[in-house]
A and B are shown apart, each in its own frame.
Chain A
């Protein structure tokens, strides 16, 4: 007997099952719907049993995908049935059929409330579950206090309380105000002392939501979470029912570790230690076993532990352990583990310092790009994209291009976009960039947007070296039999402009160029024909002396298109025809295009934008309604930021008169509006604003008086400049104090002095990472500005205060860092002459009402321009002797040295690129080191160092430094002294003072020069 005795329902289900096709099914369903409708018309005659039966049929039909637009009232009315079976059906069917805004639901509010506050446990559960699933704002307002009471009531059994927890979660999402944070935080902490694992499981979900909105308030829950995790990990007091294949509730373990990831950090050393113990045990103790279920469950816990370790910024050793584990995973046979290994490795890229270890797995990741499973290929693609930088861009992009030839349609668009972005971001040279884009157009022209080929044209036009190469490449592609129309466009454009540079090559005479381009004309669309006409005019102009035959051919084409119905084509044809008969004037008018002004790549900008809101974007399609309902809290907070911050900028702009304010108003709008949700209004604005900016820029200078001209040309830096000035008057420190940096800034700086990548600065809103490559006297640094929040950081400004000896150029830093985005800002450094002065980055941004301004020393320090060099005894001594004494060779006795064993001192030297050459000095207490220093004034210059230590007193030593340049010798001596005397981690003089005046240098130098002589005498 099926369906608890509902025979009619069973029959109906059997009928549906026996339907041969969709049409029969529809007929049967329609018949049934008609039947139910007539039954419901005479509702009073229905027994509760019959009602129940029909309501189930409705649900069944709805599940099959048919609309059920009646009978809702009957379903809702069952909620108030006195008996459990009917009531239960009422609740379940209501929450399946109705959405939270349904009017009938409001009618049930009282019944639901009565069930919740009533004495019947099972009724309580039903009501809490339904409200938990579909309760709306009204439910939140009228039921929240009752639900809270149940959740913490000691007289309530776990089965009710676990439902109350998730019910409260729903109500909280509908209206965050229903939970009074101050009062509730303590209750929440108490709740986590609960022993029942069902209550804990659901409370943990509630906690995640609460903490993610306001982690500060729930600080006291953090140690409780760690306790719960310890209890589970040690399997203490875990009932058999909650053990899954020998693992204490993997779901609760996962959820607890997830909750911990919503706290920004764990400061209490004890809590941190116990947590790391548990994590270490999970990392090390998870073995692969035969049973699939056990394996999955234990790896679910393991992957969550990995995520938590990453979040906690564990020590490098543990991080490397994690990467090693993931490296193992991405190579296993089990596809699930391979997929998750790749996914988590991508997340791991967010952690600084491990990128290099991840790069070691590049070959394996590339193999995954060829996996038969598209899910895995996607993960591999994301990972490769994320790990790409200047060092491996060539390899990775070439792999992507290769894969593009065989990739299925579903992946081609993403692939080509990613390849284009990487090529532009990390191109080691521009000819490579042109190569990549042309290949992309060739292989996947449909997915290469105009932005991309415009960019190629821009690069080629602006770089003369590139022009013959690009023209030759374009010419090569034209030989291919069937080429994409975009290829025709870009080739025609480039050959029109620069084809004459190829004139001496075979197949590249004006006539040959013309004919091979003209071959394509019959197959292309009108927009391309316009480009071709321009190309012909240019070819004509470049064919000197004029070739009458070619001239006639091209004139004939112009003549033909003079009557084109396309205005653009017609106009070009008429004008080019007339122009080409003017002889010399043609040369002027059709001369090479001027260089394009530099502007941000539209592609990269677009990529940055989409990276941020791909999730939201696709969500819009499907969940537009739901979003505003489920995550009210989130939307509200974001809006308040969006409304709050830029309006400041707007106000200041409004004061500006006429044109300039217009332009600014436009350019500010598109940024603002998407966040406010009025997408439609500004849809076409960004491009027109750009255009306006270009067109109106020069005009504004003639028009308004000078005061207005000043802020106009660059709206953002202008308005921000005033903000910065204002804060400069107010003591900077006080303002910045409201946001505390995470970690010790000085320590981070010193760590970066000896390594090339890591975190320079971090606070709750932003993380500034740095990655550097040093070659000779040049440095290529990249600042990674990562917005950690879901709201944008605005008024972002980065100013470099370079010392005299460094030439530094920071690329444009965007005014706004979009939510969760990371912006990369390259910084080029050139070392002009030796100096120990330090460059400072003055970085400021605004988040909400917090204006943060920090001054950070940049690790572009002297030792970065050193390259260790190994010197033999035969080389060393002649050099040493050839530098007789001051000012090229300086000696100093240094006291107060941090006592170090000789070996450690050697390591210290090596870490600063002063290569210790063992065996050169016969005295075992001495060290000899050599290095090459690079700067523009000194070029590569050998430096020799000798340290004589006193085994009886490790706190003093004598050092002698020699090089071919007096300033270098002095600076290097002082530098080495600093490293030996001070302990690198101590905080030094406030950085604002570091850019010392260059005058100070020579005066201090002679003083020091007199010093060693005296010291030497004393020692001898």
Chain B
């Protein structure tokens, strides 16, 4: 009866994907190990499912044992795979936090920024999520290492 108790020790975030509206992957970060083949299949299925949805539909898609929480910004889709039972709206806003953080760094972030500064986006994400758990939500703190690197070069 108390099913709530039974979301035993789940990871939370299982992957973060950024895909443009043509379905090309711009960033993929997995927090569980999947083989390349599994990734390709999974990404294909999810992208097909989510990109076919219009803006009147909700931001959650159930796929296999994942729940996909997604959000679209202009030409770019942010797709986050989480465990069933994860708080969907919290993840939805986490996506927005990531976008705002990139915005603060790049200023009006666009797909090209992400493509050509893949490493920076990785650094930011790395500051925000470890092992599928949210670690930091302060934009200033998230951006510290990236700025450090900018100074170094």
Contact = CB atoms under 8 A, between A and B. Distances in A.
A307 B4 contact: yes
Interface in A114-149: 122, 125, 129, 132-134
Interface residues of A, number: 108
Given A335-B57, A626-B33, A788 B1 contact: yes
B118 A60 contact: yes
Nearest to A352: B1
Contacts of B31: 133
Interface in A128-182: 129, 132-134, 159, 162-163, 165-167, 169-170, 173
B138 A202 contact: no
Nearest to A99: B33
B88 A340 contact: yes
Contact of A822 (B1, B117, B134, B135): B1
Contacts of B5: 261-262, 264, 311, 788
B140 to A, nearest CB: 5
B133 interface: yes
B115 to A, nearest CB: 6
Given A84-B152, A198-B135, A336 B58 contact: yes
A163 B129 CA distance: 10
Interface string B103-136: 0000000000001111100110010001101111
Interface in B70-127: 84, 87-90, 92-94, 96-97, 115-119, 122-123, 126
Nearest to B65: A618
B145 A122 contact: yes
Contacts of A63: 25, 27-28, 118
B39 to A, nearest CB: 7
B60 A122 contact: no
Contacts of A254: 87, 90
Given A13-B115, A300-B89, A631 B136 contact: no
Contacts of B57: 335, 372-373, 375-376
Contact of A769 (B1, B11, B40, B96): B1
Contacts of A311: 2, 4-5
A862 B89 CA distance: 50
Interface in B139-153: 139-141, 144-145, 148-150, 152-153
B149 to A, nearest CB: 6
Contacts of A202: 130, 133-136
Given A2-B116, A634-B8, A788-B5, A622 B138 contact: no
Contact of A129 (B115, B130, B137): B130
Interface residues of B, number: 72
Contact of B153 (A85, A129, A258, A310): A85
Contacts, number: 237
A161 to B, nearest CB: 11
B8 A790 contact: yes
Nearest to B125: A92
A242 interface: yes
B153 to A, nearest CB: 5
Contacts of B27: 63
Contacts of B122: 92, 96
A565 interface: no
Given A133-B130, A621-B64, A297 B89 contact: yes
Contact of A162 (B36, B60, B64, B135): B135
B90 A198 contact: no
Interface in A410-453: none
B51 interface: no
Contacts of B96: 293, 296
Contact of B138 (A166, A213, A242, A310): A242
A67 B59 contact: no
A204 to B, nearest CB: 9
A408 interface: no
Interface string A787-819: 011100000000000000000000000000000
A201 interface: yes
Interface in B17-43: 25, 27-34, 36, 38-40, 42-43
A999 B123 CA distance: 83
Contacts of A296: 89, 92-93, 96
A246 to B, nearest CB: 13
Contacts of B29: 96
Contacts of B40: 65
Nearest to B116: A2
B138 A198 contact: yes
B11 to A, nearest CB: 7
A347 interface: yes
B138 A372 contact: no
Interface in A752-783: 767, 769
A630 B3 contact: no
Given A4-B153, A92-B126, A790-B6, 7 more contacts: A293-B96, A296-B89, A338-B58, A347-B3, A351-B1, A373-B58, A618-B65
8 contacts: A170-B131, A212-B9, A241-B139, A244-B137, A254-B87, A297-B93, A311-B2, A820-B3
Closest 4 CB pairs of A and B: A300-B89, A786-B1, A335-B58, A241-B138
